[in-house]
């Protein structure tokens, strides 16, 4: 395997499947199968998941809600998604732990770096919920931060597109896909990979990012094994 310890970043919207909101059980089960295949190969898997399928702080702000209040609601949404993913993984026979940046002792452990790393070493899938625990930071930032803290080899950003393009491939048929690209070129070309805070943090810590299509069965394992799937962002 090309990577040993990975941080998988999933958006909340990815869990909707064909639905308009909420969680699609079939999509959740498919992701659980993909993650199980990786764990069975001895890969240490940590996951950060968004909450946009339930609530997004920025959307709340546009409707007049206080941004800090809205972001806290969004953090709770990521924990709901984390619990759903945890259940789906355990249905597949995997051992999991949910750690949150907001203390909810009845349903999850608080985030403790050393404990998270020990869980990974024991083969448990660790799901990080609650973002960073602070408003104004996205789950992209939480993913990069947690990946650095647990000393992950790479961030795998699972999306519905198969990589980074010169423009949005869903709107521009002439868009060209990059197999690999540098952090510098992403910024120069104004390409959207993650929010600027997250992307800069990843660049400063020399942490590569792979953007790939998570909705195609088998892709996660292909990326981990080093196949030319998606787009690799590195120095």
The rounded radius of gyration (Å) of the Cα atoms in the chain is 17
Report pLDDT for 62.
67
* Nearest of 97, 49, 98, 93 to residue 75 by alpha carbon: 49
Half-sphere exposure (CA, 13 Å, Cβ side) for 61? Answer: 12
Domain ranges of the chain: 5-234
Please calculate the CA angle 70-74-79 and round it to the nearest 5 degrees: 150
Report pLDDT for 128.
98
Report pLDDT for 192.
87
| Residues of the chain below pLDDT 70 | 57-62
Report pLDDT for 64.
77
Q: Which option is the CATH number for 5-234: 3.40.1160.10, 3.40.50.720, 3.20.20.100, 3.40.50.1860?
A: 3.40.1160.10
């Amino acid at each position: 395997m090309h990577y040993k310890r990975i941080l998988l970043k999933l958006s909340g919207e990815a869990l909707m499947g064909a639905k308009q909101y909420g969680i699609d059980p079939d999509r959740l089960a498919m992701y659980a199968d993909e993650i199980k295949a990786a764990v069975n190969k001895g890969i240490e898997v940590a996951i950060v998941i968004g909450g946009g399928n339930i609530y997004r702080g920025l959307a709340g702000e546009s409707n007049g809600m206080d941004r800090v209040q809205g972001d806290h609601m969004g953090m709770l949404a990521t924990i709901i998604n984390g619990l759903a993913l945890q259940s789906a993984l355990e249905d597949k026979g995997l051992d999991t732990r949910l750690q949150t940046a907001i203390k909810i002792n009845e349903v999850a452990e608080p985030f403790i770096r050393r404990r998270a790393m020990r869980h990974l070493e024991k083969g448990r899938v660790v799901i990080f919920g609650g973002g960073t625990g602070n408003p104004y930071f996205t789950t992209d930032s939480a993913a990069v931060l947690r990946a650095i803290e647990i000393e992950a080899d790479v961030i795998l950003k699972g999306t519905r597109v198969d990589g980074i393009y010169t423009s949005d491939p869903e709107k521009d048929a002439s868009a060209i896909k990059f197999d690999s690209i540098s952090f510098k070129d992403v910024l120069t070309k104004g390409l959207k990979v993650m929010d600027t805070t997250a992307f800069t943090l990843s660049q400063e810590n020399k942490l590569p990012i792979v953007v790939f299509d998570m909705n195609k069965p088998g892709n996660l394992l292909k990326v981990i094994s080093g196949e030319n799937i998606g787009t690799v962002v590195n120095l």
